[in-house]
Amino acid sequence: MQTVKSNGYDIPALGFGVFRMSDEELERVLPAALEAGFRHFDTAQIYKNEAALGKALEDAGVARDEIFLTTKVWVDQYSEDKFAASVDESLEKLRVDNVDLLLLHWPAHEVPVAKQIELINEVQAAGKTRLIGVSNQNIAQMRESVATSAAPIVTNQVEVHPYLDQSKLAAAARELDVAITGYYGMADGAVPKDEVLQQIGAEYGKTAAQVTLRWVVQQGFVALSKTANPSRAAENAAIFDFALSDDHMARISGLARPDGRIISPENLAPEWDA
């Protein structure tokens, strides 16, 4: 599996996200994901499926050191009396002693970023996660996180798809040696139906979804894919046997529009960079 390097650490460039997946869907699709070559799995406390993922991975019998496991702390746990305990609960559900990557899920507004970073540093120092990062931060918040963290901030997990221009955030992340991890790559189902992406895909014998995932990783980002369909797991993994031309990369990026952002929950999202 190709990797993305951040602060000297390697993150698998393609991950399998389990957002909005039921326990039954996860149990059904995970063996196919493993067979397709996925070893990077991304969940979160708020997804309510950490336990299902932990059981499915254990049942599959894959060695722990072959798996790159990410979870995220939800915003209502950003306090001294809750944060570490919530991580302990996540580890118990996931059936592991530690995760590879722990993220702050949203910036929220009640708890200062510096305090959030202090809390996640404490659990990293305690050995409950190997690496730490953030999610859904704007440029200023990302800079503050890097400046105040004792441990490296290895990624900022954000919405990434062809209809949203994240070039300014990506440029700032490169300066800080922070990897961008992209979620919602299919843009809520718009990508597979996009005629431009279908046309580009046809030139490579690939689907619009494969072209988009390739566009994400070819920018040097980590791409999170998702499917509840076991037969599609192999399709999503088959993005490392071709490379998009510079022209096609530019055409895909050119699909961005001012109203392209899809995920921006009130009271959780920051003021996004223009």
Which residues are catalytic, by number?
Answer: 47
Question: For residue 243, how many C-alpha atoms fall within 13 Å in the half-sphere facing its CB?
Answer: 5
Q: What single-letter amino acid sits at 234?
A: A
**Tokens representing 259?**
């109203």
The three-state secondary structure class of 154 is strand
Helices (H), the chain: 23-36, 50-60, 83-94, 113-125, 139-148, 167-176, 195-204, 208-218, 230-237, 246-253
Bridge partner residues of 12 (DSSP):
3
Q: Enter the DSSP assignment of 186.
A: T
CA distance 219 to 128: 31
Cβ atoms of 121 and 151 closer than 8 Å: yes
Cα dihedral 264/268/270/274 (nearest 10): 0
Chain position carrying tokens 């067979």: 35
Q: Phi/psi at 68 (nearest 5 deg)?
A: -105, 110
First to last CA, the chain: 34
> CA angle, corner 216, sides to 214 and 220, nearest 5?
105
